[in-house]
Amino acid sequence: MIVGSLQIHLHIDAIECLPNANRPRDTIDAMQMAVMSNKPIGIFDSGVGGLSVLRAMRTLLPTEDMLYLADQAHIPYGPRQKADIRAFAHGITEYLLAQGAKLIVVACNTASAAALHDLRAHFPETPFVGMEPALKPAAALTKTGRVGVLATPTTFAGDMYTSLVDRFAQGIQIYQNTCPGLVEQIERGELDTPVTRAILEAALHPMLAEAVDTVVLGCTHYPFVIPLIQEITGPDVHTIDPAPAIARQTRRLLEERGWLNAKQPSGEITFFTSGAVATLAVMLPALLGEIGIVQQLCWVKSKLQTG
C-alpha cells in the first residue's frame, strides 16, 4: 500500500512538471477551469441601475467575486449616439478584462442595444450577458393582449428590440414610453418623490387607459421604483423585472464552462465609478443593501484609468 501511494504521488508530480504541450488534455482543462473559476464577474452600467442586476446575482451566485463599474461620467446613456455608447462599452470591457473578469454582464439595456453585438465580435473569447426587454414572458403573461414597455430611446430604436417584437409579440399591442428624467431621479436616490411619481404617472396612466395588464421594465434603473409603479398600476397589472433572468443566464454560462466558484463562503464586490465616488457609495446601502469601497476611474483618450 505504501509503495502504491508513492507511485501515485510520483505520477502526479511528474504531470505537474510537464510543459502544457505534454500534459494530458483532461489535466490542462481541469487546471484552466480552476483558474477561471476563481476570477471575478465583470458588470457595468451607466450608473446605479445595474445594481438591480448585481443584487439578483448576489442572491443566485453568492460565492462569486464581482466587479461593478458605473460609468457615471457619461450618464445617462439613453439620449447619446450609438457610436459613443459603443466606445464607452469597449473601454469599460477592456478595463474589466484587465482586472481579470471571466465574464461580462452588460447590465444596461441601452448599452446592450447599442454595443452588445460589437462587443461579442471584438472580444470573441469572452462570454457576454446582455439585457433585452422581456417581451417573450410578457406576451405569455398578458390576458388582455396589451403590454406596456418602459425603456430608453436607444433601446426602442435598436435592432434587438425590433427582433423581439417580431418574434414574440405578434398579435400583441405594445405601448411604449421613454420616461424622460426617470433615470436621473433614480441616480439621485429619489425613488418615491412627487417628481418621480409624476414621470411614472405620465407614462403609465395612458397605458392603463388602454387596458395594459403587463409592464416590461426595459431599463435596469427601473426595478428600483417597482413599489411606486405598483402603487400606480394596482395589483392586477404585472411588472416584469429582468434582473433574475440575467442572473440565471450568467449562472448557466458559468456552469457550461465549469467556471462556477464554489470554494469560498461569500464573494467580494469591488466597485468602480468614472463619476464622483461619493455619489455611488452613498447609494449602495439603499439600492444594494451592502456597503463597499468605491474606486475612482477616469477616462483618458477613450480608455479608463485609475484616478
Q: Which residues are catalytic?
A: 108, 219
Where b means 16+ CB within 10 Å and e means fewer, 145-174 reads ebbbbbbbebbbebebbeebbeebbeebeb
Give me the residues paired with residue 67 across strands: 42, 270
Distance CA 99, CA 65 (A): 12
Q: Are 142 and 166 in contact (CB under 8 A)?
A: no
Residue among 254, 163, 162, 237 at smallest CA distance from 200: 237
Cβ atoms < 10 Å from Cβ of 202: 14
The total number of residues shown for the chain amounts to 307
Residue with cell 443593501: 289
Residue among 211, 186, 208, 212 at smallest CA distance from 197: 186
Instruction: Pull the grid cell for residue 73.
Output: 461620467
Q: Are 35 and 102 in contact (CB under 8 A)?
A: no
Cβ atoms < 10 Å from Cβ of 242: 24
